[in-house]
Every structure is written in structure tokens, then in C-alpha cells.
Structure 1
Amino acid sequence: MSTDFIPGKTRSLADGATLICIFVAVLMLVPARLVFKGIPLSLTPANVAALFALICWICAQLTLTLGMAKGRTPVRTGIFVYMIAVFFSYGYANYGPLPADEVKLSDHAIVLVAGNCAVALMMNDGVRGLIRLDRVLKTGVICGTGVALVGVCQFLLKLDLTKYMVLPGLRATSDDSAVQTRDALARVAGTTGHPIEFGVLCAMLLPLAAHFAFQAKQRGEPALRWWVCCGIIAAGMMFSVSRSAVLGIIGAAVVLFLGWPAKRRWYTLLVGAVFLGVIKVAVPSLLGALFDLFANLGNDSSISHRTYASAVAAKQISLHPLFGHGPGTWYAGKHEVFDNQYILSTVETGFVGVAAFASIFLCAFYSALRARYLSKDPGARDLALTICACLVAPLIGSATFDLLGFATVTGFTFVLVGAAGSLLRTAKSLAPHEDQFGVLYWVRYRWAWLRGFAARRRRRTETLPEPVA
């Protein structure tokens, strides 16, 4: 087993993992609708922490003594491609005439994109080793449990704790309640901006909590705390009453079941059945409401609205197919709401932008699976599979709501993308001969074989006796 997983061997100095832990805590525990007072752009504490991480990343890249990783990785390349695509769209939109409100929103969007990409880059380059990566992801699970606990209080106790979580120097961007209703059931949002975002966030966190629960015995840690986190997060996901959350957790479960051993699969199915039974007893109408979300798709007004919005999107995309209308310029209140991030990204940033957005997920999946292939540590291999499962939830959710319009789930998505890159760097460092499994080695091997074959043919030709005249 790798020494990176040995308990007690930790670093005492602050590093990139420290910055990301602060970002994750602020992102999840400060209500999403709170922003700083007195500045022209609506920036949350998490946005400021992300921009500070960007400054630190740039400064660390200029030195060789701060422990920042250098060199190209798939995640790093994907993030740079995404940033370039969005900046091209921003320049293209501002080159032509834009209304003043859309110019301001475009400026705000480009700042948010820079911050999110900085978080992924800091994770990819600044979180070195499995211990530090473990620390960041555990912070995410613990803080996510806090978010889910707020949601549970909102649902069961009708107590909205976010009303009391107001910090000095911050103001609320809206007076909307964190509790909504659907089919006479409360839909809660925790500290996030919307119940759908809350449900998808819980669907992303649940596989991570299960990973730490299953790995606790191997690492010599108490497992009960992580199982409690699993229960609270799962309850929060159910209380969001969200179709996107259900689809996200199903997609994550499919990925996990493909890589888990059979014993763990059966154990998970048993625990899941017991959990659903408890939910049925505690809230009898909840499972029926979730079932109706899928059984009545033909009569769902949100589905018919999405069909109508697709026609509007097709017309707008035809006007600016490559670079779009501009990042952040298509907003509710003035334009049609699509409830689909892929359509919205195509409208705002064109086909170039939506392809770059999808490439981030592809690079993250490749990095995690590559790390799983290279690593010999069972814990690291399970973590790679878990990261893939977690990223399936926002990948599916992007087709059912505007993912990038919600700060909490977007920020944690970029954290997980960077985590995949960090895990691949660690796996490569622990497998110095990893190129023997790669394309470069195959090319070198074939080239050497061809050169040797030619040399043998040449030697045989030189040693053959000359023909007799």
C-alpha cells in the first residue's frame, strides 16, 4: 500500500490543498445568495477565494521552490482550452454592439469563469499526493453534510437556518425562500441557490462519502462517521424532490457498480432498500412524488416548456454558430430560459464553447480512469472510480438545468475535475514506467522493432555467399 495513505503522515505547511479546503468550506457553508457589499460585481466569498487561488497559482508557476507541479496534463489542457474558448466568445460578443446590461453580465461571467478554472488548476497542480487530495475531498464531504443537514432541518422542522447565517459585510441578492413546494411537498435548497442544485450536489457528494466509509477499515479510521454523512446526504438529496438528483445518482450508481466487487454491490443494494423503507415510513408521500416526476413526463409543464425553448435556441444559434451571443449575456427575465446547460452554452459561447465545456468532463474522466489503470493501491483505484461517478451527476444534470448558473454545484464540479488531474499526477509519480502502457511507448517500441528487423535483414544479406557465375 502506498505510504500516502498511512495515517499521521501529514504536512504542516499551508499549500494548494489548504486554499482549496478554504474555498470548499466557504462555497458550501455560506448561503449562495450572499454577496459582498460595496463592489460593482456580485461576488460571493467563494468567488473571492477562487480569484485569490488564481493569483497564487500564477505566482507559484513563476517559481520552482513553492512545490507547484509543472507540465502538461489532460485536465490542465482541457481547462486552458475552455478558458480560451470563453475568452474568444467574450471578445467576439463585445466587438459588436451589446446592451449595457449584457455587457455588465458578460464581464461578471468572465470573472466567474476565471475563478472556477483557477480552482481546477490549483487542484491539478497544487494538491500533491494522496494525503492532501484526501484532505480536500474529506472537507467537501463534511461541509456537504452540513449543507444537507440544513436541508433536512428545512424539510422536517420547517426551520430555515440560512436566515440566521448572515455574515457582516454581505448582502442577499434576493429575498426568495430556500423552501419551495411541489405536489404539496416542501422542496428544500439547503445553503444552495435552488432545490435542483441542492439535489445534484448531494448526488455528487454521496459517492465520495461512501468511498470514505468503505475505505475507513483499510485506513484504520472509524467508519461510523462516514456512514452518518452518507445518511444525511442521501436524506438531503431525497428532500430536494428533484428529477435531476435522481438521474444523477442513478448515473453515478451505474459507474460504481461497473467497478465495484460483487459483495459491495449487494451490500449497497441492501442498505439502499433499508434507506428507502425508512423514507417511506418517515415521509409516506415522498417516494410517490418522486415516482410521479417520471411517470407524468408527458403532462409536465417544464418538459413542454423545454420543447418550446429548443426552437428559440435553434434560431439564436443560427445567428452566431461559432462563438455565440456572449458568455453570461443570455439571462432569465430578458431571454428564454432553456433549463439545459448544453443548449445555453451553445447559445452563449457557440459550438466552440460547448465543445470546450464538454472536453473538461472528457479530460477529467480520462485522467481518473488512467490513474485507476496505473495505480496499484486499491484505495487510489477506488478513489479514481468514485471521482468518475461523482462527475456523472453534473454531466447528466447539465441536460436538465443550467448548471453553470448555480455557483455551489459549479464550484464543486471544478474541484472534482482538478481532483482527477491531481490523482493522475500522483499515479504517474508512483509508476515511473507508466509509459510502457501508453501510446508513446507503443510507437517507440514499434520503431525500435522495425529498425532491428531492418538491421537483421541487412546482416543476413551481407553474410550470404556470392552466387557462382
Structure 2
Amino acid sequence: MTGPSLGIARPRRADGATLVCLFVVVLLFLPARLAVAGLPLSLTPAEILALSLGVVWICAQMISTTGAAKGTNPVRTSIFVYGLLLLAVYGYTTSLYLPSDELNLADHTLVLYVGYVSLVLMVCDGIGTRERLDFVLKAAVIGGTFAAAVALMQFRLDFDLTQYMQLPGLRHSSAEEVPTVISRSDLRRVSGTLGHPIEFGALSAMLLPLAAHLGFQARSRGEGAVRWWICAAVIAAGLMFSVSRTAVLGMAGSGLILLFGWSNRRRIAALGAFVVFLGFMKVLAPGLLGTFYNLFAGAGDDSSIIYRTHDYPFAMREFARSPIFGRGPGTWYPFKHQVFDNQYLLSLVETGLIGVIGFVGVIGCGIVVALRVRRMSTDPNVRNLALTIAAGLVVPLLGAATFDLLSFPGITSVLFLLVGAAGALMRFERADQAGRLLLSSFHDPADRSRSLIVLTGNGQGSARSGSS
């Protein structure tokens, strides 16, 4: 924006996208083990920021001058329903007897879910334009690249940068018992700035399609795309350094979605880049590809898979005790109960059928909305972004069957971020269609020009018309 007479550039005012970017940076740049000191609950800086987003969203909904979207949106409806279901589970289970430790964990878990709901609402309603949504997604990719760079140092140099990333006012949370580097087949499994290698691998699988989208989009606009391809390469390497089956399964699932939706030219380019990447990894980390092959070839005899499946009957017995509402969110925890490396089983036990249905429903809604935007739009970049968001949301849908995904705030936050992004895209596309319909109703070019000014005035047209 420039001044009316001096032509001096004015700084952009902070908006919803600015706040979400701040959240993303804190989430992915700070080690997951750092919590704010002095609080009765163990909350990370990112979790406090997520709760703050909810306060901002509520305040913005009370007035009409901020550009925050109002009106119907499938994503907003789904996250409201999910939040109400979790509140019902919490109310029912805490009305019964719970040991003090489990009651405290139920309180803590409810606070975390309030933050996740707030994040979805702010992304869905508080981002005014597609350019600002791109800004948020770029921040997520850069954050994932930083986490992958830390993982590279952990894997290749055996140097853990997170041990030196201490800030005043922060302390180690109870998650510090889980090491950032774990051994598997004479290789290091690394987690970057995240809480566990599996979480880091699944998160990399979610962010890799976004990095590729930014590269394709920059090239189509005639902008510099090299930086985004570098980000994609670093994130892909981080995915491999996690040495995680979950990451590979997630990447395979999202890759299939992308390959079905991409053009033949893009498919060939992607497959060629994949072959080159495998060759690069063969040189950079000898033995890594063989380890991945053995993870899948010997899956039938793998102790970790046997451990994941042997507890199914036990989980079903616990589920049968309270099949509708479960025993309480967050109340089934390690060191006291048997660990379920399966989020669907864990949710069945903790939140019952309604919790699982709500969880799958939110992800499914994000995927369906994104694919619907892809059908509605004629802009190739918007269509590709919608496909990318749908592909990214397939990763947690698959990954939830292989580890307790909702126990890790990093990947859970990015999951809800993408769901909110699908809702924002739907709002932008509806606004564009409403604008085109309005312009087509005017026969006088002067009337069309005046209407266009009203729709796009001050850069807030998308947010305001999206609420109609």
C-alpha cells in the first residue's frame, strides 16, 4: 500500500494470517519439549498462542469491521460439532469418578482441544485473501524445512541442536523422557524439533506436497522457484531420516492422490525427481534404503508391528466398558496403562464412538471441501493447492492407524491448520463466484468497474463477501 500523494510504502497491518504465522513459527522452530514455566498445566508457547487465537476469533465475531468471515462454512460446522462432541465426552466422564491424575489429564486435554478448535476457526475465518493463505502455508513449509535441517544434523553429524535451544521462561515438559534420537538397524531415527521420529516423519509427509505446490506455483507465475524445491528436498530427506514406516505410508497415500490429480507432464517430472532423490539418498546415507526395504519386507516378523497388533483384544474390552463416551479424553496414558500405538483404538477407549466419528469427520470434511474447491475453481494454482491440501490430510488419516497421533501436538496442529485452510479456500472461491455473478449482471462497463471496486476495496473483498 502506498500513501495517497507521497508514494511511500506503508507497513501491512497485522491480521489473522500474521497471528497464525507466529503460531506456526513457534510450533516448528522451538523444540516440542519446551513448556512455559510457572503454569499449573504443562503448556507449550504454541499451545498458549493457539488459545489466544480463539480469544481473537471470538472478539472478531462480535464486530463487523475486522474483515473476519461470518456465515456458513462446512469446515466451521464440522469443527463446532467435533468440539461439542468432545465437550460432551468430557462432561459425561468427569461427572463420574476419575482418579486425580486422570482428571488432571482430562482437564489438560480439553484445554489442548480448545486450542486446536481455535486454530481451525482462525485459519478458516481470519485469513482475508489467498495471498495471505499462501503466506501462512509458506511459513509452515519453512518451519518444516528448519525441523528437517535440525534432523539432518542429528542424523549425519550426531549433533542435537535442540539441546542448546533453551529460552528464559521455558522448561522441559514431561515428554523429555522420549529421546530425540532413537536407534534402528544401526541407524539413527531423528525427530528434528518435534517430539518423536514418527511424528516428525508423518509431519514431513504432510508438508512435502505443500513445498512442491509452492515450487510449481512460483514457476507458473514466473517467480523464483528454486528455494521451494530446496525446501522440498530438505523435507523429503528429513522424512527418510525419521526411518519410519508411518512416514512412507503417509507419503504413498498422499502421492497417489497427487498423481491421480496431476497432469501427465507433472507426473513424469515428479517420478523422475523421485528416482533422482533415491539415488541421492543412496549416496548420502548408505544403508538407509535397505533399512526401509527390510521394514516392509520383514513386516510380518517385526516386533514393533507385533506389539501394535497384539493389544487389539485388550483395547476392545476397554472400549466395551463405555462404547459411546469412553473413559475420558487423555486419561489412558503411558506409565499407568498399556500403550496403544493406534489413535483409532486410543480414541475408542478415551472418547468412545462419538470421539472417533468426530475425529474422522473433521479430516474427511477437510478433504471433501478441498476436492470440492478443486472442482469449482478454474485457476490452476487454486486447483493444485486444493488437491495438495486433500493429499496432505490423507497422511494423518492413515497415520492414525499406526501411532497415537493426537498425543503429539506438532502434527495435530498442522492437521487442523490444513483443515482450516480448506475452509478458507472454500470461502475465497465462493466469494469469487459471487463476484463474477454480480459483474455479469451489469451491462454497463462503468457499473462493472464500480462493482469491482466495491468487491475488492482495500484488499478485504474476499473476507467480507465470503461471509455473505
**TM-score between both structures, scaled by the size of structure 1:** 0.89
Q: 2-side partners of 1:242 and 1:335: how far apart?
A: 24
Aligned residue for 2:131, secondary structure, equals helix
Runs of 5+ consecutive residues of structure 1 not aligned to the other structure: 1-8, 436-469
Aligned residue for 1:323, secondary structure, equals coil
Q: 1-side partners of 2:107 and 2:296: how far apart?
A: 38
Question: Does structure 1 retain, via aligned residues, the 8 Å contact 2:299–2:305?
Answer: yes
Q: Deviations over 1:284-343 (max 9, x none)?
A: 210011111111111111222222211111001111010101001010111111111111
Paired residue type of 1:226: W
Shift in CA distance, 289/434, structure 1 to aligned 2, threshold 3 Å? farther
Q: Deviations over 1:91-126 (max 9, x none)?
A: 111111000000000000000000011001100010
**Structure 2 residue aligned with 1:97:** 97
Q: 1-side partners of 2:53 and 2:67: how far apart?
A: 15
Q: 2-side partners of 1:129 and 1:342: how far apart?
A: 35
**Structure 1 residue aligned with 2:152:** 152
Q: Deviations over 1:386-432 (max 9, x none)?
A: 00111111111111001110011011111000000000000110112
Question: Does structure 2 retain, via aligned residues, the 8 Å contact 1:312–1:336?
Answer: no
Q: Do residues 16 (structure 1) and 16 (structure 2) align?
A: yes
**TM-score between both structures, scaled by the size of structure 2:** 0.89
RMSD: 1.4
Aligned residue for 1:431, secondary structure, equals helix
Question: Does structure 2 retain, via aligned residues, the 8 Å contact 1:148–1:236?
Answer: yes
**Structure 2 residue aligned with 1:299:** 301
Runs of 5+ consecutive residues of structure 2 not aligned to the other structure: 1-8, 438-468
Q: 1-side partners of 2:222 and 2:45: how far apart?
A: 36
CA shift, 1:434, in A, is 9.8
Q: 2-side partners of 1:391 and 1:316: how far apart?
A: 29
Q: 1:372 aligns with which of 366, 371, 374?
A: 374
Q: Do residues 209 (structure 1) and 230 (structure 2) align?
A: no
CA shift, 1:375, in A, is 1.2
User: Which structure would you say has the larger Rg?
Assistant: 1
**Structure 2 residue aligned with 1:118:** 118
Q: Do residues 270 (structure 1) and 272 (structure 2) align?
A: yes
**Structure 1 residue aligned with 2:143:** 143
Q: 2-side partners of 1:249 and 1:59: how far apart?
A: 39
Question: Does structure 1 retain, via aligned residues, the 8 Å contact 2:195–2:408?
Answer: yes
CA shift, 1:11, in A, is 8.3
Shift in CA distance, 413/306, structure 1 to aligned 2, threshold 3 Å? same
Aligned residue for 1:186, secondary structure, equals strand
Shift in CA distance, 66/11, structure 1 to aligned 2, threshold 3 Å? farther
Q: Deviations over 1:142-166 (max 9, x none)?
A: 1110000000010011110001111
Aligned residue for 2:311, secondary structure, equals helix
Aligned residue for 2:188, secondary structure, equals strand
**Structure 2 residue aligned with 1:418:** 420
Aligned residue for 1:41, secondary structure, equals coil
Q: 1-side partners of 2:207 and 2:35: how far apart?
A: 25
**Structure 2 residue aligned with 1:239:** 241
Q: 2-side partners of 1:406 and 1:175: how far apart?
A: 14
Question: Does structure 1 retain, via aligned residues, the 8 Å contact 2:178–2:196?
Answer: no
Paired residue type of 2:180: A
Q: Count how many residue pairs are aligned between Structure 1 and Structure 2.
A: 427
Q: 2-side partners of 1:74 and 1:180: how far apart?
A: 41
CA shift, 1:42, in A, is 0.2
Q: 2:192 aligns with which of 190, 193, 209?
A: 190
Aligned residue for 1:180, secondary structure, equals strand
CA shift, 1:10, in A, is 11
Q: 2:354 aligns with which of 349, 352, 356?
A: 352
Q: Deviations over 1:7-43 (max 9, x none)?
A: xx99811111111000000000010011011111000
**Structure 1 residue aligned with 2:172:** 172
CA shift, 1:175, in A, is 5.0
Aligned residue for 2:171, secondary structure, equals strand
Aligned residue for 2:374, secondary structure, equals helix
Q: 2-side partners of 1:339 and 1:197: how far apart?
A: 12
Q: 1-side partners of 2:52 and 2:222: how far apart?
A: 36
Question: Does structure 1 retain, via aligned residues, the 8 Å contact 2:325–2:352?
Answer: yes
Paired residue type of 1:13: R
**Structure 1 residue aligned with 2:254:** 252
**Structure 1 residue aligned with 2:6:** none
**Structure 1 residue aligned with 2:62:** 62
Question: Does structure 2 retain, via aligned residues, the 8 Å contact 1:102–1:328?
Answer: yes
CA shift, 1:219, in A, is 2.1
Q: 1-side partners of 2:207 and 2:226: how far apart?
A: 17
**Structure 2 residue aligned with 1:317:** 319
Aligned residue for 1:432, secondary structure, equals helix
Aligned residue for 1:181, secondary structure, equals strand
**Structure 2 residue aligned with 1:332:** 334
State the 4+ residue runs in structure 1 displaced beyond 6 angstroms: none
Paired residue type of 1:96: L
Q: 1:281 aligns with which of 283, 300, 303?
A: 283
Question: Does structure 2 retain, via aligned residues, the 8 Å contact 1:20–1:123?
Answer: yes
Aligned residue for 2:272, secondary structure, equals helix
Question: Does structure 2 retain, via aligned residues, the 8 Å contact 1:144–1:205?
Answer: yes
Paired residue type of 1:373: R
Q: Identity over aligned residues, as a percent?
A: 53
**Structure 2 residue aligned with 1:36:** 36
**Structure 2 residue aligned with 1:453:** none
Q: 2-side partners of 1:79 and 1:397: how far apart?
A: 20
**Structure 2 residue aligned with 1:107:** 107
Question: Does structure 2 retain, via aligned residues, the 8 Å contact 1:16–1:123?
Answer: yes
Question: Does structure 2 retain, via aligned residues, the 8 Å contact 1:428–1:434?
Answer: no
**Structure 2 residue aligned with 1:84:** 84
Paired residue type of 2:241: F
**Structure 1 residue aligned with 2:456:** none
Q: 2-side partners of 1:26 and 1:294: how far apart?
A: 35
Q: 1-side partners of 2:133 and 2:371: how far apart?
A: 16
Comparing 215-224 with 384-393, greater Cα deviation is found at 215-224
Q: 1:200 aligns with which of 202, 205, 222?
A: 202
Aligned residue for 1:55, secondary structure, equals helix
Aligned residue for 1:89, secondary structure, equals helix
CA shift, 1:220, in A, is 2.7
Q: Deviations over 1:53-77 (max 9, x none)?
A: 0100111111111111001211111
Q: 2-side partners of 1:238 and 1:139: how far apart?
A: 22
Q: 1:389 aligns with which of 391, 414, 420?
A: 391
Q: 2-side partners of 1:363 and 1:347: how far apart?
A: 23
Aligned residue for 2:434, secondary structure, equals coil
Q: 2-side partners of 1:183 and 1:45: how far apart?
A: 35
**Structure 1 residue aligned with 2:452:** none
